């Protein structure tokens, strides 16, 4: 078993050399996996200037690593070292290709250091810019699915999950929020350095970051012994926020009952001082816009949706993007469960509404492999929720919720596929589920409403 640069014994994964993600074949490198990222960043909001260094501890795959690649956008590259030695390297089209002076042997640990600087901006995608987004006063990161290289060098594929320590220095008027535990906050002169630790394995697209002049609010006092929950937002929005997010601690308690223990150490939400099309998902963190506050809980379903992603998507992560329905279908169904358990319309009622909407739309979505063009289509969310509902109706509540808790426990901090899920669900059924999964996942026609 190899030793990491920190002296930590690391098992060699038998799954580390994986096929390229068919939706994003140019992202990620299956020849190695990352164990840990240590990022040190200095950000100046006014000129939108970022300077960073990364120390990456990784494990070579089943062959000597004569060359490997990191994903990184168009920054100026400074020093690069592999195991303390300067390698040959090139940086083009978002790929930092590195040829070490001495190739790490198969299955051994190695360390990469990269220094970079420049003006971060979103990377292009079919859905517009992704990743680092400069705000009117601050910045946020919205990386799903391939925006992480907009601000740091990474092996950008969802199955390669690693621990993170991130240090961010900003002018002292700004607050820095990341998913994870705040280790230290140190002010020197006019700058403050915030250091966060996320020890749970994290996919690169799930490293969230928000920078802004925010006020911190604690949410967990009403439920002693519960998961620590914090919020960061402009002070003027506090009255609306306290009502709109007032039931989040109850959601947390319900979801722990239905899905199993919350998989991380803490949960934070940010309300950025901007309107956002949709909330931003990250590990241990969700970011909303001012438009998600209205004082009447008009976006409460989104509060439930983003919280549910901490179990479905963040702890249990898709091996590649073909399986995105596992993230979004369960998060959608969590909205319906919250409605049902909090005095609103039942899940069956919500399912009927979703089914009626889908019935009026084109029947060309293959849920189990939607393709890159349709992976964020609204129909995927609704059909995913209906698939989960159909499974609940087939299994019955007792077996269904035991199945869900077992799925979350078995997949905790790992990567999964649709085949993994269908095999798992089958263990809780009295009869084969092939017909159900074939109809909902492998055919485009909309099945009948589950009853």
Residue 248 lies in a domain: yes
**Residue 69 parent element (H or E):** strand 68-71
190 and 230 both lie in a single domain: no
Judged by DSSP in three states, 390 sits in: helix
Let me know if residue 9 belongs to a domain.
Answer: no
Of 203, 225, 255, which marks where a domain is finished?
Answer: 203
CATH of the domain at 173: 2.60.40.1730
The range of the structural domain enclosing residue 353 comes to 318-441
The whole-number pLDDT of residue 19 equals 59
- Residue 262: φ, ψ to 5°: -55, 130
426 and 328 share a domain? yes
Report how far apart, in Å, the C-alpha atoms of 411 and of each of 30, 75, 111, 416, 424 are. 21, 36, 28, 7, 10
**Neighbour tally for 128: CB within 10 Å:** 8
Are the C-beta atoms of 150 and 132 separated by less than 8 Å? yes
pLDDT by position in tens, the chain (length 451):
233 333 333 322 334 334 579 999 999 999 999 999 999 999 999 999 999 999 999 999 999 999 999 999 999 999 999 999 999 999 999 999 999 999 999 999 999 999 999 999 999 999 999 999 999 999 999 999 999 999 999 999 999 999 999 999 999 999 999 999 999 999 999 999 999 999 999 999 999 999 999 999 998 665 677 899 999 999 999 999 999 999 999 999 999 999 999 999 999 999 999 999 999 999 999 999 999 999 999 999 999 999 999 999 999 999 999 999 999 999 999 999 999 999 999 999 999 999 999 999 999 999 999 999 999 999 999 999 999 999 999 999 999 999 999 999 999 999 999 999 999 999 999 999 999 999 999 999 999 999 8
Tally of domains in the chain = 3
The pLDDT of residue 4 = 34
pLDDT score of 224: 72
Report CA-CA distances (Å) from 160 to 30, 221, 437: 9, 35, 28
**pLDDT at position 297, please?**
97
Q: Based on the fold, state whether residues 267 and 332 are members of the same structural domain.
A: no
> Which pairs count as long-range contacts for 344-353, CB under 8 Å and 24+ apart, including other chains?
347/389, 347/392, 348/389, 348/451, 350/385, 351/385, 351/386, 351/389, 351/449, 351/450, 352/449
pLDDT at 225: 76
Per-residue pLDDT at 13: 32
Three-class secondary structure of residue 138 per DSSP: strand
Find out whether 380 and 324 touch, Cβ atoms under 8 Å: yes
Which stretches of 258-413 are assigned E, i.e. beta strand?
267-271, 280-282, 285-288, 316-318
* C-alpha closest to that of 145 among 54, 23, 35: 23
Are 371 and 304 in a shared domain? no
* 210 domain residue, yes or no: no
Under a CB-based contact definition with an 8 Å cutoff, are residues 389 and 450 in contact? yes
What's residue 7's pLDDT? 35
Question: Given CA atoms 43, 48, 49, 52 in this order, what sign does their dihedral have?
Answer: positive
Statement to judge: residues 273 and 160 lie in one domain: no
Gap between the Cα atoms of 122 and 240, Å rounded: 30
pLDDT at 396: 98
Residue 15 falls inside a structural domain:
no
Task: Clarify whether residues 249 and 283 are in a common domain.
Answer: yes
In a domain, 138, yes or no: no
Instruction: Tell me if 12 is assigned to some domain.
Output: no
Residue 423 lies in a domain: yes
Last residue of a domain, one of 277, 310, 343: 310
Report the pLDDT value the prediction gives residue 221, as an integer from 0 to 100: 60
Q: Are residues 98 and 236 in the same domain?
A: no
The whole-number pLDDT of residue 213 equals 97
Any idea what the CATH number is for the domain that residue 224 is in? 1.10.390.10
How far is residue 29's CA from residue 20's CA, in Å, rounded to a whole number? 8
Per-residue model confidence as pLDDT tens digits over 338-385: 999 999 999 999 999 999 999 999 999 999 999 999 999 999 999 999
Query: Are 271 and 178 part of one and the same domain?
Result: no
Domain co-membership, 72 together with 167: yes
Whether 261 is in a domain gets the answer: yes
Residues 112, 221 within the same domain: no
Which are the contacts of 75, defined by CB distance < 8 A and separation ≥ 6?
50, 116, 117, 118, 120
Same domain, 371 and 345: yes
Question: What is the pLDDT at residue 11?
Answer: 29
Say yes or no: 235 and 192 in one domain.
no
Q: Cα separations (Å) of 44 from 48, 51, 130, 188, 303?
A: 6, 9, 20, 15, 31
């Amino acid at each position: 078993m190899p030793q990491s640069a920190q002296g930590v014994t690391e098992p060699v994964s038998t799954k580390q050399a994986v096929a390229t993600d068919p939706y994003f074949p140019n992202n990620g490198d299956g020849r190695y996996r990352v164990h840990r990222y240590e990022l040190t960043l200095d950000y100046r909001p006014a000129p939108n200037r970022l300077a960073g260094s990364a120390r990456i501890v990784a494990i070579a795959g089943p062959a000597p690593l004569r060359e490997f690649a990191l994903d990184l956008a168009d920054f100026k590259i400074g020093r690069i070292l592999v195991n303390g030695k300067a390698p040959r390297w090139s940086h083009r089209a978002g790929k930092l290709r590195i040829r070490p002076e001495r190739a790490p042997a198969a299955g051994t640990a190695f360390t990469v250091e990269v220094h970079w600087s420049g003006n971060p901006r979103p990377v292009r995608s079919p859905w517009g810019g992704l990743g680092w987004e400069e705000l009117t006063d601050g910045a946020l990161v919205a990386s799903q699915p391939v925006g992480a290289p907009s601000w740091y060098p990474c092996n950008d594929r969802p199955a390669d999950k690693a621990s993170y320590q991130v240090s961010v220095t900003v002018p002292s008027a700004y607050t820095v929020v990341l998913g994870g535990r705040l280790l230290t906050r140190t002010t020197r002169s006019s700058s403050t350095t915030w250091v966060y630790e996320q020890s749970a394995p994290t996919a690169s697209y799930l490293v969230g970051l928000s920078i802004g002049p925010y006020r911190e609010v604690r949410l967990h006092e009403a439920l002693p012994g519960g998961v620590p929950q914090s919020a960061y937002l402009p002070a003027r929005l506090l009255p609306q926020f306290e009502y709109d997010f007032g039931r989040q601690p109850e959601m947390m308690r319900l979801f722990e009952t239905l899905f199993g223990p919350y998989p991380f150490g803490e949960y934070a939400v940010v309300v950025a001082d901007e309107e956002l099309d949709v909330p931003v998902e990250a590990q241990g963190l969700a970011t909303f816009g001012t438009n998600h506050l209205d004082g009447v809980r008009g976006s409460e379903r989104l509060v439930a949706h983003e919280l549910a992603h901490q179990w479905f998507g963040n702890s249990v992560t898709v091996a590649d993007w073909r399986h995105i329905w596992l993230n979004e279908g369960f998060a959608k169904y969590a909205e319906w469960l919250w409605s049902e358990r909090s005095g609103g319309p039942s899940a069956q009622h919500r399912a009927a509404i979703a089914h009626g909407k889908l019935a009026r739309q084109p029947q060309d979505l293959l849920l189990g492999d939607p393709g890159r063009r349709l992976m964020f289509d609204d129909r995927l969310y609704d059909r995913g929720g209906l698939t989960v509902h159909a499974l609940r109706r087939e299994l019955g509540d007792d077996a269904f919720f035991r199945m869900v808790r077992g799925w979350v426990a078995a997949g905790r901090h790992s990567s999964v596929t649709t085949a993994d899920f269908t095999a798992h669900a089958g263990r809780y059924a009295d009869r084969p589920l092939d017909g159900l999964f074939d109809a909902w996942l492998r055919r485009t026609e909309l099945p009948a409403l589950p009853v």
